[in-house]
């Protein structure tokens, strides 16, 4: 196995590993998930006491979605780009990555329907898909312009 083959396998594994991380967080019952976000909410409330705690909770929880799927978008695009680099046009990894991330977001929300105290939200699928798309477009832009600079 060549060095290039080993690197490709690593790049293909990274989004899968990140999906497992997202799954593990989604698997937590609401009581555990709420406890984790409340730590951040309390800290922020000390810094900005004028902001309502419910609003801070909402912001923290949605920020976690944004971060997780932004990273998933970048990792997915990178994996598909490297796998398809010589075979497909530049836009194929972009659309494929967006599709994969949106489908994973939908499956993640469906999965949460079966977790104690959790719910599946269409709003979260939209937030996740937009966050992944921003990560994908950003890394695509960086790749395209760094390649043009060479």
Q: Which pLDDT value is given to residue 43? A: 86
Q: Which pLDDT value is given to residue 150? A: 58
- DSSP 8-state assignment for residue 28: S
| Interatomic CA distance for residues 48 and 44, integer angstroms | 6
Percent of the chain residues topping a pLDDT of 90? 55
8 Å CB contact between 132 and 69: yes
- pLDDT (mean) for 124-140: 97
Quickly state the pLDDT bin for 57 (edges 50, 70, 90): confident
Q: Which pLDDT value is given to residue 90? A: 52
Q: Which pLDDT value is given to residue 22? A: 97
Collapsed DSSP state (helix, strand, coil) of residue 114 = coil
Collapsed DSSP state (helix, strand, coil) of residue 122 = helix
pTM check: above 0.85: yes
Taking CA atoms, 107 is separated from 65, 66, 114, 124, in Å, by: 14, 16, 12, 11
């Amino acid at each position: 196995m060549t060095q290039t083959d080993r690197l490709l396998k690593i790049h293909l594994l990274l989004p899968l590993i990140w999906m497992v991380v997202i799954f593990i967080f989604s698997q937590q019952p609401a009581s555990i998930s709420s406890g984790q976000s409340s730590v951040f909410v309390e800290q922020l409330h000390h810094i900005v006491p004028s902001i309502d705690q419910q609003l801070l909770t909402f912001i923290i929880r949605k920020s976690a979605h944004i971060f997780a799927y932004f990273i998933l978008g970048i990792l997915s695009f990178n994996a598909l780009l490297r796998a398809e680099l010589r075979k497909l046009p530049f836009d194929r990894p972009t659309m494929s990555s967006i599709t994969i991330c949106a489908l994973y977001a939908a499956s993640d929300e469906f999965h949460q329907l079966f977790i104690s105290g959790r719910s599946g939200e269409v709003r979260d699928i939209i937030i996740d898909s937009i966050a992944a798309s921003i990560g994908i477009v950003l890394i695509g832009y960086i790749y395209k312009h760094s390649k043009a600079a060479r």
